Amino acid sequence: MNEKYDVVILGCGPAGLQAAIHAARKRVSVLVLGKPEASSLYKAHIENYCCVEGVRTGKELLETGIKQAEGFGVDFSREDAVRTEMTEEGFKVEVESGKIISCISLIICTGISRKGLGLKGEKELVGRGISYCVDCDANFYKGAKVAVFGSGSAAVHGALTLKDIASKVYLISNKEFDISPELEAHLKGTEINLFVSRKIKELVADESLKEIVLDDGTRLELDGLFIEQGAKGAMELAAFLGVQLDPERFTHIVVDKDQATNVPGIFAAGDICGTPYQMAKAVGEGCIAGLSAGSFCQKKKRESKEK
Ligand SMILES: Cc1cc2nc3c(=O)[nH]c(=O)nc-3n(C[C@H](O)[C@H](O)[C@H](O)COP(=O)(O)OP(=O)(O)OC[C@H]3O[C@@H](n4cnc5c(N)ncnc54)[C@H](O)[C@@H]3O)c2cc1C
């Protein structure tokens, strides 16, 4: 992985892979971030994708897509983006290991992930102690006792953010953390209370959340529980860059027919742009986003040569 690319793609699912293939064929340098095993496609079995006969596993399709993109010169790094920022030349993307990559254009293909725990009372307590977004709700918990549940970069970054806001932070994961060694070292150097290989069994509440009970019987008194499963949510990354989300539910990125967002240089494709959540749509939009981002970079480069 280099420090500079023309195009950085957030997401290694079908949208990100197709975007990478089409951008690379426009002769621009391309980096794809993200984990294929975190793609919705990874566990799917596909039999409704045009020109592919029979039932194919998503895992197999993703592996083929990665090889194909690598054949066109695309670089891959199986790390999540944890921060994005606009610069004069384009964008900066910080990844889990702390490295910062700059690019002219960014394509957001992070899919959708707002996985709940399916616990009794969970839905009713959203906004009254349960949240799915640290970046959105952390400030409501100043000086409070909070826990974050999850094993990926979103959960760990969430806990690190909360440690400067809340009075006590627990981080609970039902398995070993799925994060870079650098992030793990950073986490272990803090006072965040870790519970690894533990599940949340029960939520105790009256009007709002009061306590959670873990599967070993441990009871934690809490004001807030953040459920952050998966990677850093696209919505947080997008919102920081001023990317417009759908005005009703803030769950999807708004794009035009070129898959361009309202921010010049940022494109989006796939499930993150809305329904239907289907591979065919993700691939189609990825193709357009890749071509658009490639053209955007070529134009920017021409303009800077002319200066
Ligand atoms: C069980 C199941 C069965 C399905 N069956 C079908 C089917 O039969 N036919 C069909 O057409 N579709 C099916 N789908 C839907 C299909 O899988 C999705 O529509 C498709 O995968 C969407 O592609 P995507 O690239 O937009 O997102 P995803 O495939 O979800 O990929 C998102 C990528 O973004 C990455 N990412 C997330 N956050 C970050 C971050 N912060 N930084 C970097 N990377 C990040 C993830 O690691 C992942 O690689 C199924 C889905 C599921 C869950």
Is the C-beta atom of 235 inside 6 A of ligand 1? no
Note whether 152 and 96 are same-domain residues. Answer: no
Going by alpha carbons, the residue nearest to atom 44 of ligand 1 is 34
In short, whether 74's Cβ falls inside 6 Å of ligand 1 is no
Q: Which of 95, 148, 137 is nearest to 239 (CA)?
A: 137
44 CA to middle of ligand 1, Å? Answer: 9
Name the domain boundary from 227, 249, 266. 227
Residues 9, 13, 19, CA angle at the centre, nearest 5°? 45
Is the domain of 37 the same as that of 62?
yes
* 242 and 106 in a common domain: yes
Any ligand 1 atom below 6 A from CB of 278:
yes
Whether residue 13 is found in the same domain as residue 43 = yes
Answer whether residue 121 is part of any domain.
no
The verdict on residue 247 lying in a domain is yes
Best of 78, 178, 240, 277 for a ligand 1 pocket test (most atoms within 8 Å of beta carbon) = 277
Residues 243 and 223 in one domain: no
The tens place of each residue's pLDDT in the chain, 307 residues long, gives: 789 999 999 999 999 999 999 999 999 999 999 999 989 898 788 888 999 998 899 999 999 999 999 999 999 999 999 989 999 999 999 999 999 999 999 999 999 866 788 899 998 887 789 987 786 678 889 999 999 999 988 899 899 999 999 999 999 999 999 888 899 999 999 999 999 999 999 999 999 999 999 999 999 999 999 998 754 566 778 878 999 988 766 678 999 999 999 999 999 999 999 888 899 999 999 999 999 999 999 999 999 888 7
Ligand 1 atom at minimum distance from 271 CA: 26
Number of domains in the chain: 2
- Alpha carbon of 107 to ligand 1 centroid (Å): 15
Q: Which of 212, 227, 242 is the last residue of a domain?
A: 227
Q: Count other Cβ atoms within 10 Å, centred on residue 89.
A: 13
| Residue 17, domain CATH | 3.50.50.60
Domain of residue 245: give its range. Answer: 4-113+233-306
90 shares its domain with 159: no
Q: Which atom belonging to ligand 1 lies closest to the Cα atom of 11?
A: 34
Ligand 1 proximity of 233 Cβ (cutoff 6 Å): no
User: Which of 176, 202, 227 is where one domain is finished?
Assistant: 227
122 occurs within a structural domain: no
Sheet harboring 168-173: ordered strands across?
130-131, 224-227, 145-149, 168-173, 193-196
Model-level pTM? 0.77
Clarify whether residues 109 and 237 are in a common domain. yes
C-alpha dist (Å) from residue 124 to 31, 119, 203: 41, 10, 11
If one counts every other C-beta atom within 10 angstroms of the C-beta of residue 189, the result is: 8
